[in-house]
Amino acid sequence: MRYYTPRSCEEAIAILASGPHDVLAGGTDYYPALRDRPATRDVIDISRIDELRTIRREGDGWRLGAATTWSDVARANPPPLFYGLQAAAREVGALQVQNAGTIAGNICNASPAADGVPPLLTLDAEVEIASCEGRRTVPLSAFITGVRRTVLRPGELVTAILVPHRDAASAFLKLGARRYLVISIAMVAVLLETDGSGRVARARIAVGACSPVARRIEALEGELAGQPMDGEILASVVELRHLSVLSPIDDVRADRAYRLEAATELLRRALRAALATAGELAA
């Protein structure tokens, strides 16, 4: 096998077009998946492409480069819109994993327990994809199609995550068997926009690790809209029935019933946490 370290997107895309390759960013999922087997496919390491490691305001939104690490996200100084994503960044493995693991690697690995996916779903994130044929964008909600499956075609490279700017407050919570270095039993992300009169203009709610792909909970989002921006009132709206769209499994970490109960309580707590940052929007 051959190991490529391109220094530009154009160079990486040209190599990709020459045949099948594995794209490597931080390698925090790639190498453990090999176990004791040697790598047999050619590898393209995009971690040295500077243009892919950025967090910046761009027009009416934000651009998060594909090779942006979770430590980059955690240490950034963004508006409250990104607080939920930052909280997720601090939960991705240990500090060493956060220093190497990337935001695009997290979504391309397409694990049901990918910490970055629920907060990115609440951000209405889109995935920018490049190839020799040009660039296209796909909503994150359509990008991941199943366990370890995405819409990426041969020769395509994820170059950025695009997020529209909004004055909103967000939060993320995760439950595992221990505090750190754990695969989630359940995780939730919430984002709230105010209408300026003390009520919720729009809510976005997502749950991960409780279905093959993290899901937005649209029924709950609809019921939260118009409610007073009060943590206890919003928490009281959340009921187990809202999570009927999920399909959690029974495994060694938890059974289906426990995951649903846990996700319900996590949502209540996350709504209260988001309200704490919502005060910054009004300040």
Q: Where are the domains of the chain?
A: 3-34+53-164, 168-275
pLDDT at 282 over 60: no
Find the mean pLDDT for residues 124-137: 98
Quick one: pLDDT at residue 183?
85
How open is the CA angle 139-74-78, to the nearest 5 degrees? 70
DSSP-derived pairing of the beta strands 43-45 and 3-4: parallel
**Are 72 and 270 within 8 A, CB to CB?**
no
Tokens of 272: 């209260």
pLDDT at 280 over 90: no
pLDDT at 182 over 90: no
Find the mean pLDDT for residues 222-235: 96
**Percent of the chain at pLDDT exceeding 70:** 98
Provide the 10 A C-beta neighbour count for residue 54: 15
pLDDT at 226 over 60: yes
Q: Residue 77: which residues within 8 A CB-CB, separation 6 or more?
A: none
What digits encode the pLDDT tens for the residues 61-108? 999 999 999 999 999 999 999 999 999 999 998 899 999 999 999 999
CA-to-CA distance for 90 and 204, rounded, in angstroms?
21
User: Whose structure tokens read 């989630």?
Assistant: 184
Quick one: pLDDT at residue 52?
98
Q: What's the whole-number average pLDDT of the chain? A: 94
CATH of domain 168-275: 3.30.390.50
146: enclosing H helix or E strand: strand 144-146
Q: How many residues does the chain have?
A: 283
Which of residues 46 and 178 earns the better pLDDT score?
46
Find the mean pLDDT for residues 265-280: 89
Nearest to 90 by CA among 63, 116, 117: 116
pLDDT at 283 over 70: no
pLDDT at 181 over 90: no
Quick one: pLDDT at residue 1?
87
Question: Mapped to the 3 state alphabet, what secondary structure does 77-143 carry?
Answer: CCCHHHHHHHHHHCCCCCHHHHHHCEHHHHHHHCCCCCCCHHHHHHCCCEEEEEECCEEEEEEHHHH
Find the mean pLDDT for residues 220-231: 97
Given 1.10.260.40, 3.30.70.260, 3.40.50.1580, 3.30.465.10, which CATH number is that of 3-34+53-164?
Answer: 3.30.465.10
Tokens of 251: 């495994």
DSSP 153: P
Quick one: pLDDT at residue 172?
98
pLDDT at 281 over 70: no
**How many Å is the maximal CA-CA distance in the chain?**
61
pLDDT at 149 over 90: yes
pLDDT at 177 over 80: no
CA-to-CA distance for 275 and 234, rounded, in angstroms?
9
Quick one: pLDDT at residue 279?
64
Question: Mapped to the 3 state alphabet, what secondary structure does 218-272 carry?
Answer: HHHHHHHCCCECCHHHHHHHCCHHHHCCCCCCCCCCCCHHHHHHHHHHHHHHHHH
